[in-house]
Amino acid sequence: MQTHEIRRRFLDHFARAGHTEVPSASLILADPNLLFVNSGMVQFVPFYTGEQTPPWATATSVQKCVRTVDIENVGITTRHNTFFQMAGNFSFGDYFKREAISLAWSLLTSSVKEGGYGMDPEKLWATVYLDDDEAVEMWLETGVPLERIQRRGKADNYWSMGIPGPCGTSSEIYFDRGPEYGVAGGPEADEDRYIEIWNLVFMQFIRGEGIGKDDYEIVGRLPRKNIDTGMGVERVAFLLQGVDNVYETDLCRPIIDKAEELTGRSYGVVHADDVRFRIVADHSRTVSMLISAGVNPGNDGRGYVLRRLLRRIVRSARLLGAEKPVMAELMSVVSAQLAPSYPELATDFSRIETVAVGEEIAFLKTLNTGSALFDNTAAAVKAKGSAVIAGADAFTLHDTYGFPIDLTLEMAAEAGLSVDERGFRALMAEQRERAKEDARSRKHAHIDLSIYKELVDRGATEFTGFDELTSEAKVLALIADGVRVPVATAGQDVEVILDRSPLYAESGGQIADRGSITGAGLKLTVNDVQKIAKKLWVHKTTVEQGQITEGDVVQAQADPAWRRGATQGHSGTHMVHAALRQILGPNAVQAGSMNKPGYLRFDFNWQGQLSEQQKADIEAVSNDAVGANFPVNTFVTDLTRAKEMGAMALFGENYGDEVRVVEIGGPFSIELCGGTHVQYSSQIGPITVLGESSVGSGIRRVEAFVGLDSYRHLAKERALLAGVASSLKVPTDEVPARVEQLVERLKVAEKELERTTMAAVLSSAGSFVDTAERVGAVLLVAVAAPEGMPTGDLRTLATDIRSRFGGEPAIVVLLGNADGKVPFVVTVNKSAQDLGFKAGDLVASFGPSIAGRGGGKPEMAQGAGTDPSGIAAGLAAVRTWVAESA
């Protein structure tokens, strides 16, 4: 049975049982505790906690999930994935244990003709919590004998999210793969033979603080009993498809096949290779899904996880023998396999491929750099007479330069060296513990939004701001310091909930309106407006005079000047987005934005810096659209129709069935957007692009002024230009040519100075030659160079000195002193090399004296130290070392 069919059968089974089919949420949700959605129930948490009332009593979904906690174990075990699909059925105060057990059992054991999975009931086992006699009785009712029901403790059969919040006992269903996979005795005896496929959580309690799966207390009960279940789609797939593990199913094996083709090696021959093939297959799926969700490679958070996964793919492919880039072909296979369930992987394939390939190219450069650094490290180790690369050096290569430990181990073996793996692992463990401590310090319970629940349940705030700036409204509630209060007085900060409001609540990149709430003898300043549950407007205010009471009828007003500037900024953002796509193409996809009165910034997916011409073109296209005075049309339609019209949507954003479309100039710009806009594009005013920069790997940012702020900026620029023209005593239109002339004259002067300096450096070579000492069979020049001499001049001087000795064996060591650093150059001519002297070995002799490191080839090495006070000692060490080696 194919995986796509397994998903469909699950949803159909529960739909027939009255459940509402809910689409998978994005992998990225606004939850401070989660980098990614990691279970099927995450999007339903507000319903379980009672913060929101669910729109249905029961639901079913197949949720895309990502877990990277045990990323190092991927491929080593054969049943874990970083990306996986969790099929689930959920009850919000409707049915409980008996129905959950019955529904799961019937889907698993019903025949394929009846819409089930056709599993043999004799191969299924159940586990329950220690004292859950009720669950045991219910499993007996289904026909599972007592000997196939096992009781387990809190760590195994008690579920929570790992933080204070919903929890409850659970019952898990296991499939017995048979004696060839392990010993008998049920899940307690062997979880390789007995594979968990379904977890039924009987959620009815609230857990407190604690760490781990069982170190916490139960501090209360949920408002009602709920059901949360999760069936691992990939695990069921490998069982129903008769393969040994999740990597050999219909959605993973084709990726391994492609990896075999790209590397020339075969899966199933060597265990170490098999692990690498599985890493490639698993991570390729996850990478594709994360990029599709709007994640881009970066150095922290979600971006770092994506970067790490991409690098593990590239590393594994290289270790398998791949000599060329692999990401483009791997992403193509992933799209072909998963697009039937996730069509966005096909429609957004070009961007996914661009991001993945760009990161691969960058990492391949890192690998090349790391190889050079490894060579230097290996040379230093051999110079000391050792055969072991220190764990600290391996860790530095890995942590600072991104050079994988696997490659360090392989290259060390090729060089006849080993690596202190224990030391490396210890440093890695310390780093992981620091990361865990940091995560624990930031991890906290879900923000308590229950105080807003009653208000959310009453219905959404009516936003009147599309049509008016002042609205009469009723005060539904006042909240101060997280507590409902009946009244607030002058000087007090208070959250005001109104039944209707013309003030825009921050969303979609547009910051909130500023304004006021007034009444008889009453005035409040509105400092911010935020949404709760996407539909309740919370006005954050300061009471300036009078007192406000729950139930009051007031006037809410958005600041007209603020709103006018905000609409210019938001409509200007749409102009710039459309211009970017027109100039750069469809891969310039929005990755975020922020706009406020007079200013906008727009982040988009793109590899590489924009040229000056591209920036000028973006500005020109944007202003042409402004000048065209396009009408701005807004309308509400269903999501499918909006996508058919070509409306742009923000990646990672969850949209409802009905969406608001903003259309400017027909096909010029059409986007899904809930913000406020001008009526005609000319009302935006001039758009001035301030610049373009990088805000992360594969993400660029354009910033611009609009309207009067644009005019003020241009006026300031004009004044600056006039000042420069006055200083140069030329008309403003001649300033560029005049500046170019001055720059050329400066370049000529700098080159002349460089020639003069070099001549002075080389003229001193003779005096250094005169200091040569005969040490055994070689001539040694070991001196301190003139203070302030840069490394480039040191290298030139050392080379010239060496050349003056002709064929006689000679060694030149120059130690500089510049800005508190000690740059150095060591050079050894061919005759001295024939006697066994190498530049890198000499560095090891004086390096400790100046706290320096360096490396290079046998004829020349260079580097720098940080302790100028050790120069004299370092030169003495050189003489001693050469004398002992002569």
Residue positions in the annotated binding site for Zn(2+)? 570, 574, 673, 677
Strands of 329-469 (E only): list them. Answer: 388-389, 418-419, 462-463
Angstrom distance (rounded) from CA 120 to CA 111: 10
Angstrom distance (rounded) from CA 595 to CA 573: 7
Helical segments of 149-270, H only:
154-157, 233-240, 253-263
For residues 713-725, one letter each, b for 16 or more C-beta atoms within 10 angstroms of the residue's C-beta and e for the rest, the string is beeeeeeeeeeeb
Question: Could you tell me if 150 and 127 are in contact, meaning their C-beta atoms sit under 8 angstroms apart?
Answer: yes
Identify the DSSP state of 400.
T
Return the H-helix or E-strand segment holding 124.
strand 124-129
User: Whose CA is closest to 846, among 883, 872, 820?
Assistant: 872
Helix (H, G, I), strand (E, B) or coil at 65: strand
Question: Could you tell me if 63 and 23 are in contact, meaning their C-beta atoms sit under 8 angstroms apart?
Answer: no
Q: Token pair of 667, please?
A: 């096909």
Strand order of the sheet with strand 632-638?
Answer: 632-638, 658-664, 669-672
Question: Could you tell me if 416 and 387 are in contact, meaning their C-beta atoms sit under 8 angstroms apart?
Answer: yes
Question: What are the respective helix, strand and coil percentages of the chain, to the nearest 5?
Answer: 45, 25, 30
Question: Could you tell me if 215 and 209 are in contact, meaning their C-beta atoms sit under 8 angstroms apart?
Answer: no
With a CB cutoff of 8 Å and minimum separation 6, the contacts of 323 are none
Angstrom distance (rounded) from CA 659 to CA 677: 16
- Per-residue CA distances from 4 to 26, 251, 883 (Å): 19, 9, 75
Tokens 């590397």, residue located: 263
Helix (H, G, I), strand (E, B) or coil at 544: strand
Question: Could you tell me if 295 and 307 are in contact, meaning their C-beta atoms sit under 8 angstroms apart?
Answer: no
With a CB cutoff of 8 Å and minimum separation 6, the contacts of 666 are 630
**Amino acid found at 120:** D
Q: How many CB atoms lie within 10 A of CB 345?
A: 22
| Residue 743: Cβ-neighbour burial (10 angstroms; 0-12, 13-18, 19+) | exposed
Question: Could you tell me if 107 and 6 are in contact, meaning their C-beta atoms sit under 8 angstroms apart?
Answer: no
With a CB cutoff of 8 Å and minimum separation 6, the contacts of 798 are 812, 814, 825, 826, 827, 860
Give strand pairing partners of 205: 167, 221
Angstrom distance (rounded) from CA 257 to CA 635: 48
Helix (H, G, I), strand (E, B) or coil at 26: coil
Give strand pairing partners of 196: 174
Annotated binding site: 570, 574, 673, 677
Angstrom distance (rounded) from CA 644 to CA 669: 14
DSSP string for 494-513:
EEEEESEESSPPSBTTBPPP
User: Whose CA is closest to 83, among 38, 136, 143?
Assistant: 38
Question: Could you tell me if 706 and 568 are in contact, meaning their C-beta atoms sit under 8 angstroms apart?
Answer: yes
**Amino acid found at 248:** E
Q: Token pair of 578, please?
A: 């459309």
Angstrom distance (rounded) from CA 160 to CA 92: 17
Helical segments of 450-495, H only:
453-458
